[in-house]
Amino acid sequence: MANLLDQLKSMTTVVADSGDINSIKKYKPTDSTTNPSLIAAAAGMPEYQSIVDDVLQTAREKAGESASDEDVAAAAFKSLAVAFGRKILDIVPGRVSTEVDARLSYDTEATLAAARDIIAQYDAVGISRERILVKIASTWEGIKAAEILETEGIHCNLTLLFGLHQAIACAEAKVTLISPFVGRILDWYKHETGKDYVGADDPGVQSVTEIYHYYKKFGYKTVVMGASFRNIGEIIELAGCDLLTIAPKLLEELSTTEGTLVKKLDAAHSAADPIQKITIDKATFEKMHAENKMASDKLKEGIEGFSKALEELEQLLAKRLSELPKPTAA
């Protein structure tokens, strides 16, 4: 009998949720995603020190001798995610997602500039835009930035997505892909209610299921990539989703578990879903967001968490830079 991972790959595009290149090689996903926390973790691993050092040396050369280690590190982190992305693209046949600085999440213009810079770095080394997804937080400002970027041929992955209002706004903005966070939704409900949830009763599973059927029923081209899983039970319940991005630990569990995997999400069943179409403008988005305490709490927490991870990464880079030999004058 085939393992669950192989069966899942036959009905869903499997994506590795990791910056660990060795894990990506092992599980052979189609695509890969990263975020600030994952990049920070990978940057601290000895096996990737050469990648980090190369980025730091290049940033130091560009900044000049008068720049402080802190300034050089702040510039370097913008290139580090792209450096990992380039390595990942040597392994996966599909795409990599590279994230915009989370501290820009409420600034449309700054998000546009950062996204264009990411794409310019990939363009400079001859990597096709078709292989890159720029990750942007699903704030109203982030969604509006993504809407503009998509018209420029820059494909976007809208992340930190917790509510139907965010999903609809993304679809109407014609973004390429969304990443609803299954496990973080579960975390919130467990904390609020003190209950545990399994299988189809999992609120994160229910949220992604609702979004999936909404998109298919109303003919949106934006695809759904479930993310942030806490257990393989959530993955099993979302088999058939367009894409699922899965951490190495859960990929391992799926690859060593045998059984019959049933396709739970199927576009053929979406037309029968009773949900009604909702038109989202800024006022409606903000009203629905304010009324959805879970989405409000988790979006705020997620942006703060990724921002903190970036600050820690900058500190790690500054420390590493201080340990590298200074360039000698010509």
- Positions marked catalytic: 135
DSSP state of 33: E
Determine the 3-state secondary structure of 241 from DSSP. coil
DSSP state of 231: S
How far apart are the C-alpha atoms of 57 and 62, rounded to whole Å? Answer: 9
Question: Hunting for tokens 């096996």 — which residue is that?
Answer: 47
- Cα–Cα distance list, 148 to 86, 98, 111, 180, 229 (Å): 25, 18, 11, 21, 30
Longest dimension (CA), the chain: 72
- Phi/psi-derived region of residue 219, left when phi > 0, alpha when psi is between -120 and 50, beta in every other case: left
Side chain identity at residue 305, one-letter code: G
Per the CB < 8 A criterion, the answer to whether 249 and 229 are in contact is no
Kind and range of the H or E run holding 203: helix 203-217
